[in-house]
Structures are given as C-alpha cells and as structure tokens.
Structure 1
C-alpha cells in the first residue's frame, strides 16, 4: 500500500491519443508505471491493443479504444468510454499527430494534405481539450497536455503545414489555459525536438521513402550539430515532462510550453576557436 501511494498518478485516469507508438507509447508506459489507469487511443488497432495488453501483463491497467482524432465525434466517444469504464478522467494527453507530405521546397508544395494535417494536429487537440474539459469542469478539474513541437516555436524551411499546425497548438493551449483555469483545469504543452519517432517516415510513399529517410537523416544531423546538449533525446525524456504536468507537482503551472529539445530553441551552439577570451 505504501508503494502504491508513493506513485505520482495512483488512482488517476489518463487518456493518451496516438498512444500506440513513439512518444505516445512512452507516456503510456510511464503513466501506467506511476499508477494511472491508461486509455490508449489510436487508429492502428493491432498496435494499440498490443500496447494495452503489454501494460496489463506488467500489472498496470490499460484499455485500447480505436479513435481517429480528426473526427471530433470519435473523441467524444473516447471520453465517454473512458468515464464509463474507469469512472472518471483526470489527465488528457492530446498527442496524436502527423507530419504531412515532405517537399524539398515550399514552392513545390501542392498543399493537398493541408486539411488532413490540420484536422489531426490542431482540430484533434482542440476537440480533445474541449471534451476532456467538459468532464473535468464538473469533476474537480484535471490536467490537459497538448503535444506541439519545436517546429511550432522556431521558424525554418520544410513541412510548412506541419509547422503552422504546431504553432497553432501553442496559441490554442495558452488560450484554453486562461479560460479553463476557472474550473481548476491546467492546460500545458510539450514541444519535443529531435526525438526519434516513426512520425516523419509515415508521411512518405513507398516510392520516395528512401529519399525521405535520407532527407530526415540530414535534418537530424544538423539538429544534433546545433543542439547544446549532446546526449540524444528519447521518448522517455518527453514522458518524464508529461508526468510532471500530469501530477500534482505542477498544480500551480498552466499555460506553459516546455521544449524537450536539449536546448535547441535556446540558440545554436557557439563554436569556440579555442583561443582565450581577452579580459576587458
């Protein structure tokens, strides 16, 4: 009993969209280990069911619910299923996201995937925040965590629709935090950077997958070179930040955007010539 009470999320109920792989899976594992009942929402049924089964086998409590976050009605059903199964909802993680089709130049972008990217990356976050907030507003509050990206903070070339969607998530998160604070609901965002996940590869067709992988490798190497901290980021690093926002340790924190990026958005590394700096 003492060990159970020591866990940060004991007795809590959490929903994680896009929870079957990558960062979402890492958060599901972390939350389950900290005592939360975890609902994994995803469109990849076999993978989501496997993660839920794995968590249950490890002594956790997990459920998979097929959910396409681009369809707000499905998010409403997800929240209802969570409350019906576990009796409440304390933590909502709007993590599901897609990169969109890669183009080497914006002038070559036909914007054909604009509505798809915005539907998943922005509409899904807004509907998830709204529907979770509707429950939390009458049940003592809660924590909502939205996943953005350092691509929504820093300007740059490539994946412009993705960058725009993630920047919109930041502004929405801050605005929702102001409005929902009245109900004791905290709304914060996490901005991962250079965390290896299947996100970018999933946007490539079979014909250009090799080219996209080469392009991605170049981008990631550039980010490594510019990153102040030289250790590689992992899904667990993001999960630790999510745990902080989900737990009572952040009870006085809302409307924030936390980059998990090894210092990338702070600025590029200044490479020294090795010569001593003269005193003034």
Structure 2
C-alpha cells in the first residue's frame, strides 16, 4: 500500500534511527513526504544510512545523539528544529535493552540505572526539549516506542520491561497535559521484531512469539511502520493516549 504524501510537508525527528526499527520508521516517514531528522549515537552507521536515503532523493538529516546526556538531547532537539525549520512530529525510538537473559536478581544497580537513564529519562528529556516546537506546529504528534513485553510480562528482561511500562504511563499522562496544545501522544508497542538490536535473543524466544501469535510468522520492521505513520498523520488527530500493540496478535488488548 502506498503512503506517498501522507505526511507531505511534515517535519519529524526520529531517535535511534541509524539502523533497525528506527531506520525503518525514518525511511517510511520520508517516503510519505516528510522531512526527517535521524538521530543516533552510532555516528558512522547513521552517516551511511543518511547518505543512502539522500541518494534516493529523500529529505533527511543526520544528528548526533546520546540519550544518556541531557546536553546532547537539548542540542539534538535544537538542531532538528533548526535544520527542519520547525517540528511537527517526534518518534521516541532510541532505547537500550541490556538486561536481556538475566533474572531480576542477576541485574545489578548500575545496569538498572543505565536502562532507566536512557529509556525513561532520555525519552522524557527529549520530549520536553521538543515541546515548544511541537506546540508551535499546531498539530504536533509524539509517538513513543513502547513494547509488548510489559503487556504480557516477559521474563528475564526486567529492567527493559519496567522501562517500557514507564513509557506507556508517560504516554497517557503527557497526552492529557498536551491535549490543550493539539498535540497527540501515542505509544506503539511492537512484539519481538527481527532487527540488529534483537540478534542476542535466543531462538526459543522467537519461537515462543511465533507460536503464540494469531499471525504465525516472524515479525519484521515493515510490520510496525504503518502504525507509526498513522500516529503521525492527519488520520489520527482524535487518537491520543493510546497504546497500539503491533505483534501479530501475541497480545490482544
């Protein structure tokens, strides 16, 4: 299905966009007619991804971003607004896992704090940094990448699961705060998706997902992009504070 011009004229920042789901989102958003700023800590990978998209004639920019550094977050948001000429959409995709394969008692405090620092505090700070521009847009949209893991209680992933549960709560609270500014705030909760960042996941976990899905196949990045495009577009201007699980029916809510 073509989405050409669905986001024509929109200006969108995507974090964690050098590869994987973030790159898939940025690509689809640019293909839909938007100007896109891709931000990531993986500078070389980001540069290559941006160059490849520009070769296709897409309007994209690359920006450095360290989600653990408040100054970097502020600088990234400011640069995105300056280079794009404003901001209509923010996709808070950047995150780390770190606790995969560890039981609750095997996670140390430093690991827990790092996951919360990047996934929760970083998302909060990036959102705050972008709010003035999103309010000025008059039709701003924030899409937070949650996960279906807190929806079913995925084991041996506690810090990550807790951080994504926090993202869901933050989404609902911020939707109420920003409704007066005509900003929609929604979360997309993918299931286990085959990308570089999930290469560590054991085959057994992939099989658990595949067996439990109503649509029993591997989940790919392009399975998730449509939900993000919808949440950024004019099709969803009366949808806010919602969590859309995109996991082939593994979790139904």
The equivalent residue for 2:143 is 145
Mark the CA change 1:79 to 1:107 in structure 2 (over 3 Å): closer, same or farther: closer
Question: Which of structures 1 and 2 has the bigger CA Rg?
Answer: 1
Q: Secondary structure at the match of 2:51?
A: helix
Q: How does 1:89-238 map to 2 (within 5 A)?
A: 89-201=87-199, 213=200, 216-238=202-224
Shift of 1:104: 4.2
Shift of 1:232: 2.4
Unaligned runs of 5+ in 1: 202-212, 268-280
The equivalent residue for 1:253 is 239
Higher deviation after alignment, 99-108 or 116-125 = 99-108
Shift of 1:186: 0.5
Q: Counterparts of 2:195 and 2:68 in 1: how far apart (Å)?
A: 21
Q: Secondary structure at the match of 1:220?
A: helix
The equivalent residue for 2:75 is 77
Q: Counterparts of 1:50 and 1:14 in 2: how far apart (Å)?
A: 19
The equivalent residue for 1:273 is none
- The answer to whether residue 229 in structure 2 is matched with residue 243 in structure 1 is yes
Mark the CA change 1:96 to 1:145 in structure 2 (over 3 Å): closer, same or farther: same
Unaligned runs of 5+ in 2: none
Q: How does 1:26-105 map to 2 (within 5 A)?
A: 26-105=24-103
Mark the CA change 1:62 to 1:103 in structure 2 (over 3 Å): closer, same or farther: same
Q: Counterparts of 1:61 and 1:31 in 2: how far apart (Å)?
A: 10
The equivalent residue for 1:265 is 251
Shift of 1:139: 3.3
Shift of 1:55: 1.1
Contact 1:137–1:185, Cα closer than 8 Å, also in 2: yes
1:164-192 deviation line (CA, Å, top 9, x unaligned): 00000000000000000100100000000
Q: CA RMSD in A?
A: 1.8
Q: Which of 16, 19, 22 is residue 18 of structure 1 equivalent to? A: 16
1:189-217 deviation line (CA, Å, top 9, x unaligned): 0000021122244xxxxxxxxxxx4x621
Q: Counterparts of 1:232 and 1:157 in 2: how far apart (Å)?
A: 20
Contact 2:103–2:158, Cα closer than 8 Å, also in 1: no
The equivalent residue for 1:206 is none
Q: TM-score, normalised by structure 1?
A: 0.85
